Amino acid sequence: MTPEDIAALVEEQRKYFKRGATLEASFRRRQLERLRGMLRSNQDRIQEAVYEDLRKPPFEMFASEIALLLAEVDYALKRLACWTSPTKVPAPRAFFGADCRVYPEPYGVALIMSPWNYPFVLLFAPLIGAMAAGNCSVLKPSEISSHSAYVISELVSETFDPRYIAAVEGGMEVNLPLLEQEFDYIFFTGGTAVGREVMKAAAEHLTPITLELGGKSPCIVDECTRLRYAARRIAFGKWLNAGQTCIAPDYLLVHRDVKARLLEELKHAVRSFYGTDPRHSRHYARIIDSRHFERLSRLLEEGDIVIGGESDASDLYIAPTVIDEPGWDSLAMREEIFGPILPVLAYGDLDEAIEAVNSRPKPLALYFFSPDKEKQGRILRETSAGGACINTTMLQESTQTLPFGGVGNSGMGSYHGRHSFDTFTHYKGVLDQRLPLDMVLRPPYPDSRAVNRVLQRLLLSGRKCRS
């Protein structure tokens, strides 16, 4: 699309929104049902596209893309009537006779930009919130996962009126014109560097924004952990999608007393998941493209490789790899890995591990393995991350009742379930003064000190209410 085409598309969506078609809850319900039907009836097309881009195993693709989206749609449909209804809230006593309500209303036209690593779920999951809230949306899938972007564009054009929802394919030649438009909300998922540029563009129009970014998510393992279970859960989280997951454990901090044993258990877990040579496993994905392959290959040059390390540029294959003690100043510990390479470092006591995490930018996720409730509490109180898991990995992202989002460098805002609806909704406070009776709160004010004291007490008096 040309910049002129993009401007025209946004203007058509704005006109359509102003007509009020998206405001009715019945309209939103029908459109969410159409999205659900689209996902169910096109699973094969979606699976083939993701396989072409990432060689993602079919069941892994279904579990991490289709199943999550269907769960999100069903969750929204069951609660849509409640979410869209005005909520009555208490009025102060001083405003006797007033009726206070909170009205949820859509922002208008939203831009949703998604990355390549989970091309369907990271685009359509926020879209579900935008649709439930009553917005029109322009979708921008990543051009890097080109097969998925093509199928997304086809499915969206087949399913929705482009004045309501439209997908735009392309790279920087469409990203820049899109960001020049005056959207009412922008939802971006991707890297921190690009997130900064998106935020700058949003600031030009004072557009509210959600940034779902990344960072180096730590995984801490204490000396009392059941190492076999921990190793399997870490291996699942790290090597799902060949490590190309924003909330994958980026590095391990392991108590020095159990590090050697955990490394052995990780070897067993890799062998159990992918066989003796993961290159030939049907359950292991590939790197997205040669540029990312070359970037990851440079990380293999530092530290002691104790698991994996094999690679094949012609097949975009990098084995599940563990690097022992690469050093905090190594390249693998300075940048987000976003691939199947896992650095492991030892710590002596929990204070040391907490200090190591807190001395770095706030991560998108934090994982802690320990049966000790006191230590679990310390980790949750004394560190900051977008989300966390205790004694497992990744599952916080798959739960509709939990907000998913970053903090600091790892992003701002959250979504999933009700939190997606809230993200794309402006909550308008309305006070309705129904009775003709007015309290004496306007000029001319009473001269009597006694009356003034009564009125002051009235203004300062509160009412017990539920938030």
| pLDDT tens track for 182-216 | 999 999 999 999 999 999 999 999 999 999 999 99
Known catalytic residue: 219? no
Percent of the chain with pLDDT over 90: 90
- Give the pLDDT of residue 465: 42
Beta strand pairing call for 304-307 and 341-347:
unpaired
**Phi-psi group of 211: left, alpha or beta (phi > 0 → left; psi -120 to 50 → alpha; rest → beta):** beta
| pLDDT tens track for 305-321 | 999 999 999 999 999 99
Query: Residue 454: is its pLDDT beyond 90?
Result: no
pTM of the model: 0.94
* Spatial separation of the C-alpha atoms in residues 350 and 343, rounded to whole Å: 19
CB 153 within 8 A of CB 114: no
Known catalytic residue: 246? yes
Structure-token pair, residue 10: 């946004």
* Spatial separation of the C-alpha atoms in residues 206 and 183, rounded to whole Å: 9
Q: How confident is the model at residue 440 (pLDDT cuts 50, 70, 90)?
A: low
* Spatial separation of the C-alpha atoms in residues 259 and 29, rounded to whole Å: 52
Alpha-carbon dihedral angle through residues 62, 67, 72, 78, given to the nearest 10 degrees = 150
* Spatial separation of the C-alpha atoms in residues 344 and 322, rounded to whole Å: 7
| pLDDT tens track for 125-179 | 999 999 999 999 999 999 999 999 999 999 999 999 999 999 999 999 999 999 9
* Spatial separation of the C-alpha atoms in residues 236 and 231, rounded to whole Å: 9
Tell me the average pLDDT across 374-388: 97
Tell me the average pLDDT across 334-354: 96
Catalytic one of 65, 72, 136, 212: 212
The full set of domains in the chain, from first to last, is: 3-214+415-425 (3.40.605.10), 218-384 (3.40.309.10)
Residue 411: closest CA among 267, 215, 233: 215
Q: How confident is the model at residue 269 (pLDDT cuts 50, 70, 90)?
A: very high
Query: Residue 251: is its pLDDT beyond 70?
Result: yes
- Give the pLDDT of residue 464: 44
Q: Which residue has the tokens 């929104």?
A: 17
Catalytic one of 136, 246, 265, 336: 246
